[in-house]
Amino acid sequence: MRIVEVITGGEPGGAQRHVAELVTYLIAQGHEVAIIHGGGKWLSQAVSDKAEVYYLSQLKREISFQDTMAFSALRALILKLSPNVVHAHSSKAGILCRLIGWREKIPVVYTAHGFVFVDPTRPLLTRRLFQFLEAWGARHSQGIITLSDVDLEFAKKAGTQAIVRKIPNGVPVRKKGVRCLGLRRNVGFIGRFSREKGLDVIIEAAAMSSQWRWLLAGDGVLPSKLNEHRAELTNAHWLGWMDNSEQFFQQVDIIVQPSYKEGLPYTVLDAMACGIPVVATPVGALPEILSQVDSRLLCPLGDARGLVQAVEFAFEHYDSLARSSYELIKTRYDLEVQLRQTVEMLALAARS
């Protein structure tokens, strides 16, 4: 197959990792692959020796006056590449690609890495617009891949004739022993410092729990209010971006993911694959995963005290939760299965 992968941004992130791993697998299987994205060096560097990479400066994450130019440039490039199937990621790229596919009779598969319209940190008008566009896009797709049951339900209710499947992210699992807790217990977060990740909740929770050390790794611009509180916390350590997540996982005992919106974050899977318990909010696929370990690892959205209580529970039952987390990822979230099922979906759409 000739496959074009399209994603809005090429900066580090879960969707970008998904694309990089998939492209590597597709090339190894003998497929021709090109990637189109709107900027950021990480993805280009990750796949530059495997696939052709095209950069469209007009392809921005947020709704913009440049969207009409992005549509025209993306359409011209896709027609030039003449793929058997287009595989789109992220909301903006997903909408534009399906519009192009509908007009030009090109099969499009869309992977929803968590729908934007469920993010309560975004303006209501923006959420309603994206919900309308996603419903339209679902009815103009050849294939839709979701990472969670809740997104799968939305796609099916949109009245689409597309092939709709849930294909959770997967990760490689290495055999790990259950770690011993130290005297100073470390709670960690790693990811983008963006509003939907719940950094405000983490900072409030850190202020309530001076008995723990909070290690926060990532990059992005924090709102000024969070920066003010950040300076007051003596038990919170800001480590900046870390390319090697395994090095970070060696320093932490528990990972927190108090997001307002998620699909299925690799951070959670990677941590559990290392035998590290995770505390998170019930968004995206997170309740599906953590309820298989223990539902008390879930805390309400925006609830710092609830986050602290869930972390306390995780420390109290650490050994059993660590073992259960590791076994779950090893048996249910395998990277090879995810990649194989995704390629099967692309092939089905290309033949439609």
The second-level CATH assignment, the architecture, of 186-332 is 3-Layer(aba) Sandwich (3.40)
The second-level CATH assignment, the architecture, of 2-170+334-351 is 3-Layer(aba) Sandwich (3.40)
User: Over pLDDT 70: what percentage of the chain?
Assistant: 94
Asked if the model's pLDDT at residue 229 lies above 70, the reply is no
pLDDT at 177: 56
Asked if the model's pLDDT at residue 225 lies above 70, the reply is no
pLDDT at 66: 78
The identity of residue 251, as a single letter, is Q
pLDDT-derived band at 226, boundaries 50, 70, 90: low
Give the model confidence (pLDDT) of 172-195 as tens digits: 877 665 566 766 799 999 988 888
- Distance between CA atoms of residues 205 and 111, nearest Å: 33
- Distance between CA atoms of residues 284 and 298, nearest Å: 12
Task: Give the residue-averaged pLDDT of 142-164.
Answer: 90
Domain limits, CATH 3.40.50.2000, in the chain? 2-170+334-351, 186-332
Asked if the model's pLDDT at residue 26 lies above 70, the reply is yes
pLDDT-derived band at 224, boundaries 50, 70, 90: low
pLDDT at 36: 95
Task: Give the neighbor-by-neighbor strand order of the sheet with 213-219.
Answer: 236-240, 213-219, 186-192, 254-257, 278-280
| Mean pLDDT, the chain, whole residue set | 89
**pTM, to two decimals:** 0.87
Kindly report the number of other CB atoms within 10 A of residue 237's CB atom. 15
Region of residue 262 (left: phi > 0; alpha: psi -120 to 50; beta: else): beta
Q: Which of 276, 266, 27, 29 is nearest to 169 (CA)?
A: 266
Q: Which residues contact 58 (CB under 8 A, 6 or more apart)?
A: 38, 66, 67, 69, 70, 73
Asked if the model's pLDDT at residue 230 lies above 70, the reply is no
Q: How far is CA 161 from the centre of its chain?
A: 26
pLDDT at 118: 81
Are 267 and 245 contacting, i.e. CB atoms less than 8 angstroms apart? yes
Q: Which of 339, 315, 179 is nearest to 250 (CA)?
A: 179
